Chain A
Amino acid sequence: MLSLHLSALQVVIPLLAAPLCAIIRRPGITWLIALAVGIASCINSIAILLHINRFGEIVYSLGGWAAPFGIEYRIDSANALILLIISFIYLLGIIYAPVSIKSEVPEKSQGWLYTAWILCFTGLSGITISGDVFNVFVFLEVSSLSTYILISFGQDKRCLSAAFRYLVMGTIAATFYLIGVGFLYSLTGTLNMADLAQRLPDLISQNTVAVAFGFVIVGLAIKMALFPFHAWLPNAYAYAPNAVTAFLAGTATKAAVYVFIRLIFEVFPEDYFSGFTSSHHIILAVGIISAVITSAVAIFQNELKRLFAWSSIGQIGYIAVGVGLASTAGVAASFLHLFNHAIMKTAIFMAIGGLFIVTGSTTTAALKNAGRRMPWTMAAILIGGLSLIGVPFTTGFISKWYLVSASLEQNFWWLAGLILLGSLVTAAYVWKIVEIAYFRKDPNEQVVRQEAPLSLLIPTWILVVANIYFGIDARFSGSIATQAANTILGISP
C-alpha cells in the first residue's frame, strides 16, 4: 500500500511540513521539522530507487486520472538518481544549517528561512518526478521563488540585487519555457511527456516544433546557468547565506539539467536533438567553451564563494558536453557528473561556511594559514578542489574518465584534449587557494588552532568521505548513471 505512494510522498511530506513551519515560526522547531522532512525524504528516495530496481518504472496518476487527462509522476532510474542527490544534499544542508544560519540571519527570520528552504526542496522534488511539462513549470516556479527568498536572506546587501537579477532572469527563463510548452501544446494537444513523445515524431518537420524546442532549451539553459546564460549565478551564490549556497550548489541547477536531458532525449523524437536539428553540436561547443572559459574566470576571483560559483558554471559546461555527445556514454557521464559535482561542490561550500564562522570572511585572504589553523575545514576544501581538477581517488576523476572515454568513443580526441585542458585551468584556481592556505608562511605569526564547529564539520566530512569513496568505488554511481542514460535514450538494460 505504502509502496504505491512512494512517489507522491516525496512531494507530500515537505508540502505538509512547509505550512506547519509557517504556523509555528519558531526557529528551533521549524529546523526540527525541516530535519524530519530531510530524513523522511532520504529514506523515501532510497525506497524509490530500490523499488525501481526491483519492479521498474513507477507511474503514479495524481487524483486517479489517467495520463494525458490528469497529471502523472513517472519515475525511472534517471529521476530516482536526481531525487537521491537532492534529498541527501538537502538533509546534509539542514544538519549543517543551524550554527551557520545563526551567525548570518537574525533569529526572527530563521523560521521563514527554513520554511522557504522546505518549499525549495518541494519544488525541486516536484520538478524531478513530474511527467507533465506544464507541471514542471509550476514546480520550477515554486523552487525558483523560494530560491530568490533564500538568497535574499544573505548578510551583504548585495544579496538583494543578486536575488532581483536572478528573479528577472528566472522569470524570463520560465516564460520562455512556457512559450515552448505552448507551441508543443498547440501542435499536439497534450502536455504529458510520454504522450508528447508519441505524437511528436509525426510532426518532426514542422518549424513550430523546432521553435518550441529552441524556447524550451533556452529557458532551461538559463535555469541551469549554461553559458552564456550564466550571469545570474555568481552573485546569487556569492551573497546567499553560506548554508543556502551549499544547498543550492548541490541541487538547484541539477533539477533543471535533468529536465533538460529528459526533454531533449525522451520527449522530443529520437535523433531530433542530434540528427534532425544537429543542435547537439551547439550544446557541445557551448559546454566545452564554458568549461574552459569560466574556469579561467574563476582564477581571477578573490572571493571564495564567487570563485567556486564560477567553477560551478564550468562544471555545468562539462555536463553539457556529455549531453552534447548525445550518446549513452555521454549522457551517463553527465548523470555521473551531476552526482559527483553535487557531492564535491556542496562539501566545498560547507567548508567555506566553516571558514566564515571562524574568520568572519570568505575572501581568499581569510585562507591565510588556514592549513594549520583549521586543518579539517581546509582539508575539505582541498579534497573538493582536487576532485574538481579530477585527481585520482576522487569522484572528479571518475567523471573525467567517463567523459573523456565518451568523447573518445566518437573519436573526438580534440574534445578529450580540451576536457583535460579544462582540468588544468581548474588546477590553476584550486592551486591558488592551496598555496595561500598551506604555503604562505609568516614565521612571526602564532597560529592558534581554531576549527569550525563540529555541527558544520560532520556534514562536510560526510560528503568528503563520500567523495573519496565514490572516487575509489564508482560501481554504484557509475552503474546507476549508465542505467539512467540507458532509460532516457531508450535502450532497455
Chain B
Amino acid sequence: MKQHLILHVIAKIMIPFIMVFALYVQFHGDYGPGGGFQAGVIFGAGFILYGIVFGKEATMKIVPPPLVYTTAALGVLLYTGVGVAGMFLGGEFLNYSVLSADPVAGQHLGILLIEFGVGMTVASVMVILFLSFADYRQPDSQDTD
C-alpha cells in the first residue's frame, strides 16, 4: 500500500489522535468507561494502522520487536511489582491501601500504576501479534504483500 498517498496523509493525521485518545482512555478510566486494557488496544491499533499503511519494515524501525517484547514483559512486572510492594509494606499481595499513608490515595496510586502496566502489556502484545503475523512467510508463498 506504499503508493496510496491519501492513505499516507490521512494516517499521519489520524495516528496522533488515536494515541492521544488512547492516553485519554488510559487515564480517564477512573471516571468513565475505559481503562488500561481498552487504552492498550487502541494504542496498539495506532501502530497497527501505521503498519498497514507504511509497511511492516517501517513499523519495526519505530518499534523494534525486542523492545516490544521487553515492554510487554515490563507491564506484567509492573503489575506484579505493585502487588509485591503491597506485601513489603505490610499488606497483602495487591493491597494498594498500604502504598500511601491514606488508604484511598494508596488505592488511587495502585490502580493508576497497574492500569498503566495493563496498558503497556496489552499495547505491546497487540503490536507483537500484528508484527508476528505480518512478518510471517509461508514457505511456498510468492507474494510480498
Indicate yes or no for A touching B, C-beta below 8 A: yes
Q: Which residues of A contact B (CB under 8 A)?
A: 5, 8, 12, 15-16, 18-20, 22-23, 25, 60-64
State which of A8, A20, A63 has its C-beta within 8 Å of the C-beta of B73.
A20
Considering only residues 83-101 of chain B, those with a C-beta below 8 Å from chain A are: 83-84, 86-87, 91-98
Q: Taking A8-B87, A23-B69 as contacts, is the C-beta distance between A60 and B92 under 8 angstroms?
A: yes
What are the residues of chain B within 8 A of A25 when measuring CB–CB?
69
A64 touches B73 (CB 8 A): no
Whether A20 contacts B96 by the Cβ 8 Å rule is no
Whether B84 lies near A61 (C-beta < 8 A) is no
Chain-A contact segment, one of B18-26, B31-39, B74-82 = B74-82
Interface contact B97-A64, CB-CB below 8 Å:
yes
Bound CA–CA A64/B89 (angstroms): 12
Cβ–Cβ contact B94 & A62, under 8 A? yes
Take A23-B70, A23-B73 as given contacts and tell me if A64 and B80 are in contact as well, using a CB distance cutoff of 8 Å.
Answer: no
Query: Is chain A's binding surface mostly helix, strand, loop or mixed?
Result: helix
Please tell me if the beta carbons of A5 and B87 are within 8 angstroms of each other in the complex. Answer: yes
At the interface, yes or no: B72 with Cβ under 8 Å from chain A?
A: yes
A27 nearest CB across to chain B (Å) = 15
A16 vs B95: C-alpha distance when bound (angstroms) = 17
Contact B92 A63 (CB under 8 A): yes
In the complex where A8-B87, A23-B70 touch, is A18 in contact with B76 (Cβ < 8 A)?
yes
7 more A-B residue pairs beyond the given contacts A16-B77, A63-B94, with a C-beta to C-beta distance below 8 A? A8-B87, A12-B93, A19-B72, A20-B77, A60-B93, A63-B93, A64-B86
* Neighbouring A residues of B91 by C-beta, 8 Å: 64
User: Given A61-B92, A62-B93, A63-B92, does the pair A15, B87 have CB atoms closer than 8 Å?
Assistant: no
Q: In the bound complex, do residue B87 and residue A63 qualify as a contact, i.e. CB atoms below 8 Å apart?
A: no
Min CB–CB distance B117 → chain A (angstroms): 10
Q: Which residues of B contact A20 (CB under 8 A)?
A: 73, 77
A12 to B95, CA, bound (A): 14
A122 to B94 Cα, complex, angstroms: 17
Which residues of chain B have C-beta atoms less than 8 A from A8's C-beta?
87, 92-93
CB neighbours of B86 from chain A (8 A): 63-64
Cα A15 to Cα B75 in complex, Å, equals 12
Hey, which chain A residues are within 8 Å of B70, CB to CB? 22-23
17 contacts between A and B (CB under 8 A): A5-B93, A12-B83, A12-B93, A15-B76, A16-B80, A16-B81, A16-B84, A19-B76, A19-B80, A22-B69, A22-B73, A23-B69, A23-B73, A23-B74, A62-B95, A63-B96, A64-B97
Which residue from chain B places its CB closest to the CB of A61 in the assembled complex? Answer: B92
Residues in B with CB closer than 8 Å to A60 are 92-93
The answer to whether B87 and A19 touch across the interface, beta carbons within 8 angstroms, is no
Tell me how far the C-beta of A110 lies from the nearest C-beta in chain B, rounded to whole angstroms.
15
Complex interface: chain B residues within 8 A of A15 (CB): 76, 80
Q: How far is the CA of A22 from the CA of B97 in the complex (A)?
A: 30
CA distance A12 to B88 in the complex (A): 13
When distances are taken between beta carbons in the complex, the residues of chain A under 8 Å from B94 are 62-63
Are A64 and B69 closer than 8 Å at their CB atoms?
A: no
